[in-house]
Amino acid sequence: MGKRAHVLAVSYPAQGHVRPLMKLSQRIADRGIKVTFVSTEFIHDVILAASPEKGEEQNRIEMVSVPDGLEPGDDRKDLTKLSESISTVMPGHLEELINKINLSSDVDEQITCVIADVGVSWALGIAQKMGIKNAMFFPPSVTSFAWSLHVPKLIEGGVIDNNGTALKNEMISLSPDSPAMSSADFLWNCPGNPTLQKLAFACLISSAEAAKTSNWLLCNSFYELESSACKLIPKLLSIGPLLLSSDGLEQSTGSFWPEDSTCLTWLDAQPNKSVIYVAFGSTAIFSAQQFEELALGLELVAQPILWVVRSDLTDGFSERVGDHVKIVKWAPQEKVLAHPSIACFLSHCGWNSTLEGLSMGVPFLCWPYFADQFLNRNYICDVWKVGLGLKAEGNGIISRHEIRRQMEMLLSDGSIRANAVKMKELAGRSISEGGSSFKNFNHFIEQIMG
Ligand code: UDP
């Protein structure tokens, strides 16, 4: 009998990275391939605590962990500290883990492929050193990755400096058929946090380098969505949208918070296409003033609202909202977006949320906050034309009136809704038999089995 494949998926400890890699791992496991999923010890415990009923006993995917190098009480929201610590401490632990698995396994159980998230792209070097095939997984858009590959040209052309800071404010495009983008919207921009920007920029440059030597480069997107960027990266296998399986057999969704399913029953009681879903992902935070303005804006909207208010979204939140608003701490977002009562999505435009909304045919009201979310907003509003943006006042605050105005405009725009439905069809086709992502994924599976 030939050697069987065994994939080791190495995640970066952030919600927007763990979830899509977990979904990819589930899809690989669906093909009968053994998958071991590596998290940091901290995140491993967070995931298990968030879905205790789906613990380690269901062995479709083996969940293992390594230390992140921080103390139990350390602040893991400090991304600079976290990233520095894991890149110093985790490589040694990962190598040890691979050796341990391989030494304790029969030949046909040994690790044959490492898939590393972009945030831990150093894991590709470890796999190469150990003679193991390897794939980089890039959770954001292909366009983001194409911009990362373009960095040397941007520095050479004097558009940005060596830390990624824009030296000129200009509109530039990646290729003649790519939409132009403002240099203020580069995905490594972290306004007000130069240390984090330097780190994000350095991480993107090193991962762009690492991707060149990896055997495969996997992205959670589909060709028809970002064809101009896909064409620029011949090695790329776009395999998205990665969605939860429709049979509900996921071992874990990889959520960091328990999903409050009561909102699904609440949605059942709402009229078709009536509910505004409001969620800003896992890391966005609001000043007390902006949060107040958002709450007042939502009060002005005369439609049912499902609002995700994470416990760390803002300080001093009083649940002073109208009866038409249902608040949860964390929602089963994909199921919510797929619900027939959903009319639109007020979103921070994280790539996972963007793809999930597109896949379910839901129009967007865009409120980007950080990193690639501005680029995603531009695509949503200007390229795919499936949403509208919000403009801040001179003091940087988005007013309650702007929220109401843009929301009403979005809900009455038939062409945006029609475009959103077309996107849903395109996304569905790409992962159905014969579709672009379906073929790319099959190709990847055949190669790792070979
Ligand atoms: N999510 C969820 N429940 C919520 C809010 C978000 O399950 O109440 C999920 C969402 O489906 C997505 C992920 O969390 O898969 C957020 O990723 P995204 O890239 O949109 O944003 P980030 O958290 O990285 O800013």
Ligand 1, atom 1, lies closest to the CA of 333
Residue of 94 and 59 predicted with greater confidence:
94
Q: Which helix (H) or strand (E) holds 82?
A: helix 79-104
Q: What is the C-alpha separation between 8 and 63, in angstroms, rounded?
A: 10
Looking only at the bridges linking them, the beta strands covering 34-40 and 6-10 are parallel
**Phi, then psi, of 425 in degrees rounded to 5:** -65, -45
Q: Which of 419, 348, 341 is nearest to 386 (CA)?
A: 419
State the pLDDT at residue 281: 96
Ligand 1, atom 5, lies closest to the CA of 281
Cα torsion 21, 343, 346, 255: sign:
negative
Ligand 1 pocket, mutate which of 12, 19, 46 (most atoms under 8 A from CB): 19
Q: Which of 15, 38, 41 is nearest to 25 (CA)?
A: 38
Are 34 and 6 spatial neighbours (Cβ–Cβ below 8 Å)?
Answer: yes
Burial of 34 (0-12, 13-18, 19+ CB in 10 A): buried
Q: What is the C-alpha separation between 149 and 246, in angstroms, rounded?
A: 35
Q: Which residues, listed in sequence order, are joined to residue 198 by a DSSP beta bridge?
A: none
pLDDT digits (tens, 9 = 90+) for 225-267: 999 999 999 999 999 999 987 776 666 789 999 999 999 999 9
Supply 191's token pair: 């306004």
Q: Which domains does the chain have, with CATH numbers?
A: 6-253+431-449 (3.40.50.2000), 262-412 (3.40.50.2000)
Q: Which of 76, 6, 73 is nearest to 40 (CA)?
A: 76
- Residue 402 pLDDT greater than 80, yes or no: yes
- Residue 2 pLDDT greater than 90, yes or no: no
Q: Which amino acid is at 422?
A: K
Is the bond into 241 cis (omega within 30 degrees of 0)? yes
Looking only at the bridges linking them, the beta strands covering 171-172 and 181-182 are antiparallel
Name the band, by pLDDT with cuts 50, 70 and 90, for residue 315.
low
- Residue 269 pLDDT greater than 90, yes or no: yes
CB atoms inside a 10 Å sphere around CB 265: 8
Q: Which helix (H) or strand (E) holds 9?
A: strand 6-10
Say whether 166 sits in a helix, a strand or coil: strand
Q: In the predicted model, what is the mean pLDDT of residues 312-318?
A: 65
State the pLDDT at residue 203: 86
Supply 399's token pair: 């007013």
State the pLDDT at residue 105: 79
Supply 125's token pair: 């070097």
Of 254-258, 349-353, 417-421, minimum mean pLDDT range: 254-258
State the pLDDT at residue 58: 52
Q: Which atom of ligand 1 is nearest to the CA of 334?
A: 11
State the pLDDT at residue 408: 96
Residue of 317 and 414 predicted with greater confidence:
414
Q: Which atom of ligand 1 is nearest to the CA of 369?
A: 25
pLDDT digits (tens, 9 = 90+) for 137-192: 999 999 999 999 999 999 999 999 988 888 888 899 988 888 888 888 888 888 77
Q: Which residues, listed in sequence order, are joined to residue 65 by a DSSP beta bridge?
A: 39
Name the band, by pLDDT with cuts 50, 70 and 90, for residue 55.
low
Question: Residues near 331 by Cβ (< 8 Å), separated by ≥ 6?
Answer: 259, 260, 263, 277, 279, 306, 308
Of 133-142, 214-223, 320-329, 361-370, minimum mean pLDDT range: 320-329
Q: Cβ < 6 Å from ligand 1: which residues?
A: 15-16, 19, 255, 279, 281-283, 308, 330-331, 333-334, 350-353, 356
State the pLDDT at residue 170: 87
Task: Report the predicted TM-score, pTM, of the whole model to 2 decimal places.
Answer: 0.95
Q: In the predicted model, what is the mean pLDDT of residues 316-345?
A: 87
State the pLDDT at residue 104: 87
Name the band, by pLDDT with cuts 50, 70 and 90, for residue 45.
very high
Are 310 and 329 spatial neighbours (Cβ–Cβ below 8 Å)?
Answer: yes
Tell me the pLDDT of the chain averaged across its residues: 91
- Residue 339 pLDDT greater than 90, yes or no: yes
State the pLDDT at residue 57: 46
**Phi, then psi, of 124 in degrees rounded to 5:** -65, -40
Q: How far is CA 343 from the centre of its chain?
A: 22
- Residue 1 pLDDT greater than 50, yes or no: no
- The CA angle 98-99-103, to the nearest 5 degrees, is 120
pLDDT digits (tens, 9 = 90+) for 81-124: 998 899 999 999 999 999 999 998 787 789 999 999 999 999 99
Are 375 and 181 spatial neighbours (Cβ–Cβ below 8 Å)?
Answer: yes
State the pLDDT at residue 386: 98
Distance, CA 352 to ligand 1 centroid (Å)?
A: 6
Q: Which atom of ligand 1 is nearest to the CA of 15?
A: 23
Residue of 183 and 432 predicted with greater confidence:
432
- Report CA dihedral (164, 170, 171, 174) to the nearest 10 degrees: -40
Task: Give 41-61 as a DSSP string.
Answer: HHHHHHHHHHSGGG-TTSTTE
Supply 26's token pair: 């589930």
Q: What is the C-alpha separation between 244 and 238, in angstroms, rounded?
A: 17
Q: Compute and round to an integer the Cα radius of gyration of the chain.
A: 22
Q: Which residues, listed in sequence order, are joined to residue 37 by a DSSP beta bridge?
A: 9, 63
